[in-house]
Amino acid sequence: MKFLDGAPRFLFFTGKGGVGKTSIACASAVALTREGKKVLLVSTDPASNVGQVFGLSIGNTITDVPAVPGLSALEIDPEQAADAYRERIIGPVRGLLPEKELASITEQLSGSCTTEIASFNEFTALLTDETTIAGFDHVLFDTAPTGHTIRLLQLPGSWTEFLDDGKGDASCLGPLSGLEKQRTIYAGAVAALADPQRTRLVLVARPQRSPLAEIARTHTELADIGLTEQHVVINGVLPAPDRSDALASAIYDREQAALAALPGDLRKLPLDQVELKATSMVGIDALGTLFITESNTAPAQADSETAAAVPEAPLSALVDELAADDHGLIMCMGKGGVGKTTIAAAVAVALAERGHQVHLTTTDPAAHLTDTLAGNLENLTVSRIDPAEATAAYRDRVLTSKGAALDEQGRANLAEDLKSPCTEEVAVFQAFSRIIHESRRHFVVVDTAPTGHTLLLLDATGSYHREIARQMGENTNFTTPLMRLQNPDETKILIVTLAETTPRLEAETLHADLERAGIHPWAWVVNNSIAAAHPTSPLLRRRAGTEVVEISSITSTHNRSAIVPMLATEPVGINALNALTRPSETTQSNLPPT
């Protein structure tokens, strides 16, 4: 593997959830130890489980891996790090500020940016304190910070004062309060990251459009701030099939097309491809095979056994239940790459075919609803909220209003804060709020939505919801967009995921985030299930067997769900989308009893 040739002391593995960063990092650690190197493997990914991979308990202390001489591991729990980080900031003012203000500060420190910075705070010692890493030839990190986080840590000035003066906005400023004391340490860590003699960034993706787009963005973002020593690893590439299985052939063709369309900037980087393996990367023996091209014709679990383990849960059953009303807001939520656009379009088409008026809209910049629909349908209206336009307008408004009274450094701080992912969520939510009221008259189906943290942040900081409440008065009836989302009679949230560990864990986090905001997800949709497609390819049949555990976890935890099989052809066009919600004669739903 080219990315391990002449490896520097620090290797960072980054990419979207579910692309296999942990497997690549663990296999790399094993490969380096077999060259006689002493290696420390550090995980900051809440969805990865290095301990499980190696079959031992690791935790928050450096632990030797007995089965791999020369390897030690450390798992930094992001939530624990975030809790400790929040307490360092909130603890000194607890008892001094009103509970309402403490709740607002706590919510500002509850988002993904806080977790990211808190984790970064934990592993900066591993970059700057030689005592901690003495004796290790290589330190490998499973998940790296984003360019946004690194830029924030590079900024001078007092963030605490910036916040206390009320100059900040509903975004990522909260996590930056109280960082001044550690700026020297952070400067050393950033310098280590930017030094190609010490650090290499490994951008990990699957051979699919969304993960490849993610690492292209990450590449540009990190290169712009001087982190130029980058390699690309495309993981899980399906080997050329024998063409006897239509599903395997279709997957192969789609992946090769995605790789052929790889952005030019990524093509210039050293690139490795790792073949899809039939089994999970758990155990030393499995890890030792990850970088080896092998035959995938080993016997698979009987298809009848796999099929029996996958419950019949058609998407059509959810649509039938939704169609019992004549209006409402339906939101398809989930991480990138799980197929939210397809599911949203399929639900919208099915409702329109049943004679309902439907408005289908998306907030996903990568989604192309018109391409997915590939035609017009009576009763169906399609639109798109452009996140870039909404965010630019929002930034301009904030810089014009709150930035007017700031000095040059203050405006620089505010402008940097407004580059955060949270800013886009807030801006898109405000644009999205304008169409929510339509759902009182007909169906509105939305592809992609803001997280629960963003919704709570808007409320906690006195944004739209509190401002309306103040203006209307205590004895006046009013309904805000947040209240509509919290009303299960008006809003149905469909969480879309895949039958894989990391996407499922990320979906569980999203579910909890929404619950925290008082929004109760209505159903889960497991999309692109190989097990539900009953493939004949030996490799895919073995992969199907690994999905069964994930599907069982979902269906046993969430009592309203649907399982959509992976299709041999892309679900593009009205007829293809209709097929996703067309019940078979034998399907039965796993919906809860009414």
Where in the sequence numbering do the catalytic residues fall? 18, 20-23, 45, 502
537 HSE (CA, 13 A, CB side): 27
CA-CA distance, 180 to 159, in Å (whole number)?
A: 8
CA-CA distance, 62 to 122, in Å (whole number)?
A: 13
Beta strand extents in 346-449 (DSSP E only):
358-362, 380-384, 443-447
Nearest alpha carbon to residue 367 among 390, 392, 391, 344:
344
Do the strands 71-75 and 63-64 form a parallel or antiparallel pair, or are they unpaired? antiparallel
CA-CA distance, 236 to 258, in Å (whole number)?
A: 13
Nearest alpha carbon to residue 547 among 560, 561, 534:
534
Nearest alpha carbon to residue 451 among 84, 162, 114:
114
C-alpha to C-alpha distances, 44 to 59, 60, 422, nearest whole angstrom: 11, 10, 21
Structure tokens at 204: 């990990």
CA-CA distance, 514 to 518, in Å (whole number)?
A: 6
CB 255 within 8 A of CB 275: no
Name beta bridge partners: 77. Answer: none
Structure tokens at 129: 């304190």
CB 514 within 8 A of CB 507: no
Nearest alpha carbon to residue 152 among 467, 499, 422:
422
CA-CA distance, 111 to 148, in Å (whole number)?
A: 14
Whose tokens are 């293809």? That residue is 576
- Centre a 10 Å sphere on the Cβ of residue 52 and count the other Cβ atoms it contains: 15
Which run of H or of E encompasses 53? helix 50-54
Do the strands 443-447 and 271-275 form a parallel or antiparallel pair, or are they unpaired? unpaired
CB 500 within 8 A of CB 211: no
Percent of the chain as helix, strand, coil, to the nearest 5:
50, 15, 35
CA-CA distance, 385 to 362, in Å (whole number)?
A: 6
CB 43 within 8 A of CB 143: yes
Structure tokens at 305: 């056994």
Nearest alpha carbon to residue 586 among 363, 314, 322, 346:
314
Structure tokens at 354: 């049943």
- Listed in sequence order, the residues at least 6 apart from 476 whose beta carbon sits closer than 8 Å to its beta carbon are none
Structure tokens at 245: 């299985």
Nearest alpha carbon to residue 304 among 13, 541, 510, 76:
541
CB 466 within 8 A of CB 355: no
Structure tokens at 255: 């992946």
Q: List phi, psi (to 5°) of 362.
A: -135, 150
